[in-house]
Structure 1
Amino acid sequence: MAENFPLVRDVTILLDRYPHLNEHQTLQDAITEIHSFAVGEKERIRYSSLLIVNDSNQLVGKVTLNDLLHGLVPRLVEATKVEKFEGKGSEFSNLAILMEDSFFSNCKQQSQKKISEFMSKIPLMITADSPLLEALVMMLNTENTILPVVDEDKIIGVVCMEELFTAITSQCAL
């Protein structure tokens, strides 16, 4: 392998610069954490997931924006699972407006649930000294847009598809 090709370490977002929480924290904590990483004049959310760690600071899972919304609106999620032949018409999304009152009134209560109820396991991790193309292949094969990065069996951060894309395309002879 040529020395001038970047490694995962070169594009890793360190853990202190990426949203993460303890598994005992709440949906509200997760929402606050995601918003704390907003950027720009319009406070655009920069990351679409959070890493979840245990009391020993070991990685135990992740939570996406979809997971957070599902946690806040469980009734809406259940309703979207109804198949057309069970009564859901093609204009079902227009009916969501009927749930607005209950959604906004139950939001506060739902936000106190533990984040661990909504997290999913992370199937893969990559070492900091791995080649970027290895990370890219892992992401493409699993349809993940982030991979946790470990160094000496400790999580040090994540590599995101956006950083991989930038690093890889900058190496291409276009």
Structure 2
Amino acid sequence: MKNKIFLYLFVFSALIALYLFVSSGNMSKENNTKIASLEKETVKLKDSLKNLNLKMLEMEYFSLDNNDDAFAYYQHLNLKNTSGYIADKLLETNESTGDNPLIPYEGMEGDFKINKIKVLNHKWIIADFSDGQYWGDIILKYELKDDLGVDFQLLDHLLYARSN
């Protein structure tokens, strides 16, 4: 009787060991499949990140911050963020009542104000303006003086037709 109990315990233990061995093999295969798919996804994400970085560098090509030759014009002023300072000075022109004086159009649904600004180099700015319904772009020439004053001159402009 005692031998039969040990035999049953041995068979039962062997079945449990066999079950654990088979299930761990299946889990190992499943985990390897997941790891392989995650590695493929990681490679795709690295490629897309590389492409986004290249696009960002391309978009930043025309920027005062990335143009050492243009930036050299203002090094003697010791400004920490030259393009930000110039953009702030341009946004100050929005503070006047009515339309921004640099925009050659009268607002139709409100006052035309400058929204987005891109300082291209040490002489030019491109900016977007809108009155809430209508919008357009302007190209400005600017001069940053030694006393940190900024003069703006309108070079060209356009107003987009309303699409509705």
Q: Name the structure, 1 or 2, with higher relative contact order (CA <8 Å, separation 6+).
A: 1
- TM-score of the alignment, normalized to the shorter chain, above 0.5: no
TM range (shorter): under 0.3
Larger radius of gyration: 2
Given the two structures, how large is their TM-score scaled by the length of structure 1?
Answer: 0.21
